[in-house]
Amino acid sequence: MSGSSLDGLDIVFTQLEEVRGVWSYEVIHAECIPYTDKWIYDLHHAQHLSVSSFLKLNTGYGKYLGEQINAFILKHDLEHNVHFICSHGHTVFHDTANKTTCQIGDGATIAAITGITVINDLRAMDVALGGQGAPIVPIGDKLLFGTYDYWLNIGGIANITLKNNGNYLAFDVCPANQILNILAEREGKIMDENGNMAANGHLLVEILDELNTDAYYKQSPPKSLSNDAAKEMIFPKLMQSNYATADLLHTVGVHIAEQIGNAIKQYPAGKEFSSILVTGGGAFNCFLIENIKKILSGQQLNVVVPDAITVKYKEAIVMALIGTLRWRGELNVLNTVTGATRSSVGGAIWLGS
What does the pLDDT look like over 139-165, one tens digit per residue? 999 999 989 999 999 988 999 999 888
Average pLDDT, the chain: 94
Tell me the CA distances in angstroms from 316 to 14, 187, 202, 303, 322, one per residue in order.
Answer: 9, 30, 35, 22, 10
pLDDT value for 317: 97
Q: Does some domain include residue 81?
A: yes
pLDDT value for 166: 83
Q: Residue 65 sits in a domain of what CATH number?
A: 3.30.420.40
Peptide bond just before 135 cis, omega within 30 deg: yes
Range of the domain at 344: 9-132+313-350
Phi-psi group of 6: left, alpha or beta (phi > 0 → left; psi -120 to 50 → alpha; rest → beta):
left
In a shared domain, residues 292 and 246: yes
pLDDT value for 295: 94
Q: Which of 33-37, 229-233, 300-304 has the lowest mean pLDDT?
A: 229-233
In a shared domain, residues 179 and 125: no
Whether 232 shows a pLDDT value over 90: the answer reads no
Query: Is the full-model pTM beyond 0.75?
Result: yes
Whether 237 shows a pLDDT value over 80: the answer reads no
In a shared domain, residues 249 and 104: no
In a shared domain, residues 199 and 87: no
What does the pLDDT look like over 273-295, one tens digit per residue? 999 999 999 999 999 999 999 99
Q: Does some domain include residue 1?
A: no
pLDDT value for 294: 95
**Rounded mean pLDDT of 297-314?**
93
Nearest-10 crossing angle of helices 177-185, 227-239: 50
In a shared domain, residues 143 and 288: yes
DSSP 8-class letter at 36: P
pLDDT value for 7: 82
pLDDT value for 253: 97
Whether 240 shows a pLDDT value over 80: the answer reads no
Q: How many domains does the chain have?
A: 2
Q: Does some domain include residue 2?
A: no
Q: Does some domain include residue 42?
A: yes
Q: Does some domain include residue 50?
A: yes
In a shared domain, residues 25 and 150: no
In a shared domain, residues 202 and 119: no
Reference 174, options 149, 156, 190, 198; nearest CA is: 156
Q: Does some domain include residue 331?
A: yes
In a shared domain, residues 126 and 146: no
In a shared domain, residues 201 and 149: yes
